Structure 1
Amino acid sequence: MASGSRWGIVLLFMAAYVLSFIDRQILALLIGPIRADLGITDTQFGLLSGLAFSIFYAVLGLPIAGLSDRYARPVIIAAGILVWSIATLGCAFVHSFAMLFVFRIMVGAGEATLAPAVYSYIADIIPRPKLGWAMSVFSLGSFIGSGLAFMLGGSILSLTVGQPDLNVFGAVIHPWQLCFAIVGLPGIVLSAIIFLWVREPVQAGGRALTRKGASMSVAMQYLWQNRALFVPHILGYTFIAMTLFSLLGWMPAVLMRVHGMSPRIVGFAFGGIAMVCGVSGVLTSGRLVDTLTQRGHKGAPMITGAIGALGVVLPMAIIGFAQATPVILICLAVAFYFASFPMPPSTFVQQVAVPQEMRARLSAVLLFFNAMGGLAGGAFLIGFLNDHVFHSPMAVGTSLCLVAIGSSSLGALLLLASRKPFERLMAQSRHRT
């Protein structure tokens, strides 16, 4: 496969990641009208943005990863994109908490196909010296997608505010529901493009790359044999994911409720920060992993991830006390820059420390914990603190800062604990080869 084709596929997968995060994160900016129209609490909204998405995203990721280790990954990816796009369209027609919860479950089910299959595919087509950079490029999609979700959502809400509801085939559509309809359509097109254009990689002689997927029991046995690395690695990135997902899910509410910003301003300000600072952090992180590795720092992924986690603490502490909006936005930009650091080193470790035949399965294990602990746990915890500890929706800033600072600090400590086991495993791998 030519270098240009390889990187073209990486960019295409990044586009899929963009759409997945648009469909995932559009909900955060719509918290006001959704709470008003459906009559839900912060705890219920936390369940919608966290648990509903995570249930099938986490659980289905494990069997889907097994398929990705054995069968054509582009077909699996294309099918997943189609499912989550149709489910996002379905969110435009809901009129109750239960209906929205079900469609968010389906969005998570579709998105469960993407990351394990893509990580495994990229590791098969990109040389190891450039793997950190390739993972960074793919990871850009999460922040570009999040930024576009907030920008599009803010723009649509500002254009439709005060407009009457629509009647589509007898169904009453509120203005906020149009956001789901608009962002769900492009995924159907991208699904067709990936299905028709992307193929499994082949060897130099034109033969298909041999992939013999390991069973889940074999994969789990490998994980247990190397638990000194994988337990702190998985738990560390789960806590760090809690920080990032909490920022994405609840910071719009902080800016709108506590600081009185309109959805349109929040969409462009927060969306711009997510794109610029998130993208910059991911690119910096990927380059740092590759540079430190090339200079002989064997624990480069753990060092890079810990730097990112600790870099979040100070700006989030300032956000917890600051009143001036410019100060809050500056600190938010710094926090987002560092919060994005751990993504490339996490995927780097999954691909270099795991045999090829079980990469997708162990990637799915990490995503399971990230989704259930990082996404669902963080989103629920903030809503619960608002409703049952501080007893005020205006305490959302305090709840967010407590969760972000605590989870980042724990994550950094766990990553540093996994550094030596990672170095030993890499030394053993080089010795065997």
Structure 2
Amino acid sequence: MALILTGLPVKSMMRTLDPMTNEPNKTENGDFPFNERYAWYVVAVLLFAYTVSFVDRQILSLLVQPIKRDLGVSDTQIGLLAGLAFALFYSVLGVPIARLADHSNRRVIISVGVAIWSVMTAACGLSKNYWQLFLARVGVGVGEATLSPAAYSMMADYFPPKKLAKAVGVYCMGLYGGAGLAMLAGSVVVTYVSSSGTVSLPIIGTVFPWQLTFFIVALPGILVLALMGTVKEPTRRHLFVDGSTKAIADKAVPLKAVLSFMSKNRAIIIGHFGGFLALGTVISAYLVWVPEFLRRTYDIPISQAGFIYGIALLIFGTAGPYAGGWLAEKLNEKGYRDAEWRASMIGAGAMIPLTILTPLAPGKISVTVLLCGVTFALSFPQGLAPTILQLIAPNRMRAQLTAVFMFVAVLAGYTVGPAFVAMMTDYFFQDEAAIRYSLAIVSGVLTPIGLLFLWYGRKPYAERSDAA
């Protein structure tokens, strides 16, 4: 972007120091200090953190049957456990945590969050009833609320605007990489569950194999903490709301100012929030219910279903965000001022037929092929949503604006997606085998709505980019 939101040229900013050398670093990006090698190292650490967080978040979807059996719960309760329990505090606490991230040390904030979600993941394994597991999932959400707003803000300070989409896309590969690893790990556990009884552990006592799984997936959090210790807090880039050029400010921008900024840019915000909320609802529904859909519809053992979906997520799910960032970068190079938004609409357009047809596939081979395609399409715009917010927001609003978006998108999308599919199956069709139709209907309604919202916001975003 040639100008910052205040309308002043980038080169009018104060020169800042390279985070590794402490010396001004002038590159092809003018006065934007850009140590590319170290910046990508930071992305790699954040990617690993996001992957681990999503393993902890997603492992539940492969443990549906043993949890239902041992705790005596329904599909609807599982949907709430996977959605509301996690999303409620993940979304609500995201805003105050983001206020800290907009003026405090983001590396420390993320590290504290890693410790919290790792401990609470282990606590899931200690649960003896539904409500204990529900509260432990709430704790996982509290810890993970620290990661993405602070991570996106850090990357926006490590990368120049035209390179940000690819960096965020790589980071967002962690979502699908983590989900894929959760599926594969869960498949091993399900196989073990089918041939084993309870397990006796020192101090803890007797636990079911699914409880042991939570203990195991909590352990990588220790490595994440160690790696975060090697990450340097970047110097904050770009101008602030009042046009100041000083590098660090002592106070966070009030939430009222963030809401005022959103109001002044309401067309962009409505198009962005509405579009990505609708698409995200479908994504969360797929992530939670695909393994059960494969088991119930095609009589595929849940361990094999998790393996199939895990491979699809690891290969095609991780390729999608990178491809989305790559396309946005290419469109930027061709002069499209709505490059990130345009790439998002391309991904949304591909989602519509694929999300509807995949659950209706006639056989195992066809559903496997379609599942690879729909996983790529669903993941394609994953990194573009936060990239757009980093590009339109002043520095000290980035994390808060991201958190407000996540409040809306995660609380609604992550709760509604799994719950809609479950409730349609339980109360409308009243048949577990009808989950394929529930998935198709929810997708068929929401993906076109998402594309319409994105269409609504594209032109205002392009015009905003002219001034940005």
Q: TM-score range by the shorter chain?
A: over 0.9
Contact 1:277 1:334 in 2 (8 A): yes
List structure 1 segments (4+ residues) > 3 angstroms apart after TM superposition: none
Post-superposition offset of 1:37: 0.8
Q: Output one character per residue of 1:26-77: Cα deviation in whole Å (capped at 9) or x when no partner.
A: 0001111111111111110100000000010000000000000011000000
Cα 1:361–1:328 change in 2 (3 A) is same
Q: Output one character per residue of 1:359-405: Cα deviation in whole Å (capped at 9) or x when no partner.
A: 00000011111111111111111111111111111111111111122
Aligned residue number for residue 7 of structure 1: 40
**1:175 maps onto 2:209 in alignment:** yes
**1:101 maps onto 2:160 in alignment:** no
List runs of 5+ in structure 1 lacking aligned partners: none
For 1:373-412, what aligned pairs fall within 5 Å after superposition? 373-412=412-451
For 1:25-424, what aligned pairs fall within 5 Å after superposition? 25-168=58-201, 169=203, 171-194=205-228, 196-202=229-235, 209-211=247-249, 213-424=252-463
Give SS of 1:93's match: coil
- Letter of the aligned partner of 1:139 in structure 2? C
Aligned-partner Cα distance in 1 for 2:106–2:358:
42
Post-superposition offset of 1:209: 4.1
- Letter of the aligned partner of 1:98 in structure 2? W
Aligned-partner Cα distance in 2 for 1:170–1:69:
40
Q: Output one character per residue of 1:283-322: Cα deviation in whole Å (capped at 9) or x when no partner.
A: 1110111111121112222221122122122223323332
Identical pairs, percent: 33
- Letter of the aligned partner of 1:130 in structure 2? K
Aligned-partner Cα distance in 2 for 1:332–1:314:
12
- Letter of the aligned partner of 2:418 in structure 1? A
Aligned-partner Cα distance in 2 for 1:190–1:396:
37
Aligned-partner Cα distance in 2 for 1:137–1:94:
35
Which deviates further from its counterpart, 217-226 or 308-317? Answer: 308-317
Aligned-partner Cα distance in 2 for 1:237–1:424:
20
Contact 2:45 2:227 in 1 (8 A): no
Contact 1:278 1:340 in 2 (8 A): yes
How many residue pairs get aligned? The number is 426
Cα 1:242–1:203 change in 2 (3 A) is closer
Aligned-partner Cα distance in 2 for 1:287–1:336:
17
Which deviates further from its counterpart, 49-58 or 161-170? Answer: 161-170
Give SS of 1:65's match: helix
Post-superposition offset of 1:170: 5.2
Aligned-partner Cα distance in 1 for 2:335–2:278:
28
Aligned residue number for residue 5 of structure 2: none
Contact 1:237 1:370 in 2 (8 A): yes
Post-superposition offset of 1:192: 3.4
Contact 2:63 2:186 in 1 (8 A): yes
Post-superposition offset of 1:104: 0.4
Q: Output one character per residue of 1:204-241: Cα deviation in whole Å (capped at 9) or x when no partner.
A: 9xxx9424531111011000111011012111101111
Which deviates further from its counterpart, 177-186 or 293-302? Answer: 293-302
**1:426 maps onto 2:465 in alignment:** yes
Aligned-partner Cα distance in 1 for 2:317–2:204:
41
Q: TM-score, normalised by structure 1?
A: 0.95
RMSD over equivalenced CA pairs, Å: 1.6
Give SS of 1:155's match: helix
Post-superposition offset of 1:160: 4.0
Q: TM-score, normalised by structure 2?
A: 0.88
Aligned-partner Cα distance in 2 for 1:296–1:72:
35
Give SS of 1:167's match: strand
Contact 1:289 1:304 in 2 (8 A): yes
Give SS of 2:200's match: strand
Give SS of 2:83's match: helix
Aligned-partner Cα distance in 2 for 1:359–1:384:
36
Aligned-partner Cα distance in 2 for 1:5–1:267:
36
- Letter of the aligned partner of 1:64 in structure 2? I
List runs of 5+ in structure 2 lacking aligned partners: 1-18, 20-34, 238-245
Which deviates further from its counterpart, 158-167 or 32-41? Answer: 158-167
- Letter of the aligned partner of 1:242 in structure 2? T
Contact 1:54 1:371 in 2 (8 A): yes
Post-superposition offset of 1:203: 8.0
Task: State which structure, 1 or 2, has the greater radius of gyration over its C-alpha atoms.
Answer: 2
Contact 1:140 1:279 in 2 (8 A): yes
